[in-house]
Amino acid sequence: MMSQAIFLENIEKYYRNSRFKSSQVLHGISFSVAEGEAFGFIGQNGAGKSSTIKILVGVSKPSAGLAQLHGLSVDDFRARQGLAYVPENPSLYDYLTPLEILEMGVHMHRVVVPDVRKHCLEWLSRFRIDHVATKRIRQFSKGMVQRTALAHALACKPRLLILDEPLSGLDPVGRKETVDCLQEYHRTGGTLFFSSHVLHDVERLADKYALIHQGVLRTVQSREALLGMNGRLAIRTYGEAFVEGMSRQSGNDWYGEVEPNALWPFLNMLQQAGHQVIEVKSLFSLEQVFLQYIQAS
């Protein structure tokens, strides 16, 4: 049985406003994240994503329920060993440089590497900020601060990486580079838990999704269950022969659509006709799924 990196059971959270009136923001949140899994936590602004994450990292206490990291209560400091966390708006010591921030993090996390400076510069290079490695952070834009925080988190070699809107403030190139780094972290066995409203990038990163709306967890499903079995699938191929159900786009490029339960027979037919399959994807996007759950609620 795969061990759990994150476990939440019946989490509730209440806040009091300036008039001491109680407001409930989380209603019985329950889910788990297995070690080595990439888990996308999706919801609108104010849905309860950040409140849940703050409970996980020990910044906030739940009003009720059980929250654990690697089998230990989040109240236990040992639960946060090997944890890296990047909030939506990182607050870094602006009088330090990116290199100093990373070196401090590596030492505090007791990461053993042959050359700490080289290790940190490599991560700064991955996020394309090695050219400002020795400049003060107070001179940086929001995107550069975000890159520094992400490089710091990954340089510490965490076994669990929790990110709250990790693509916030990044330009399109920065988003792609960040997604590539996070995919590599996941491929090498790291556990990734992140919230995001950039649903296209969530589709690329997550193995499983949790959809939260107005503090209520609407569903927790794998990518295949949530997307692959909802609606038709689009198929792009390259070949010469005509195959029924496929339409020529240009040259030898073909496009077709098929029901999920007819996918494998259709792929066998394409193979027999000498077609090379370029892409198979769901016509039902994560954004469409998310909107359906919101409307249903």
- The band of 227, judged by pLDDT with boundaries at 50, 70 and 90, is low
Q: For residues 278 and 287, which has the higher predicted lDDT (pLDDT)? A: 278
Q: What is the mean pLDDT of residues 260-279?
A: 91
Of 278, 286, 288, 224, nearest in space to 256 by CA: 278
Say whether 282 sits in a helix, a strand or coil: strand
Say whether 188 sits in a helix, a strand or coil: coil
pLDDT at 230 over 60: no
| 1-82+159-221 CATH pick, 3.30.930.10, 3.40.50.2000, 3.40.50.300, 3.40.50.11900 | 3.40.50.300
- The band of 297, judged by pLDDT with boundaries at 50, 70 and 90, is low
Say whether 197 sits in a helix, a strand or coil: coil
Q: What is the mean pLDDT of residues 261-286?
A: 87
- The band of 2, judged by pLDDT with boundaries at 50, 70 and 90, is low
- Tens of pLDDT, residue by residue over 29-76, are 999 999 999 999 988 888 899 999 999 999 999 999 999 999 999 999
Q: What is the pLDDT of residue 284?
A: 66
Lowest mean pLDDT: which of 93-107, 143-157, 225-239?
A: 225-239
Q: If you average pLDDT over every residue of the chain, what do you get?
A: 89
Q: What is the mean pLDDT of residues 262-279?
A: 92
* Domain boundaries along the sequence of the chain: 1-82+159-221, 91-157, 229-296
Task: Determine what percent of the chain is predicted with pLDDT higher than 70.
Answer: 96
Q: Which CATH architecture has domain 229-296?
A: 2-Layer Sandwich (3.30)
- The band of 148, judged by pLDDT with boundaries at 50, 70 and 90, is very high
Dist. CA 262–CA 143, nearest whole Å: 45
The owner of tokens 């070699």 is 157
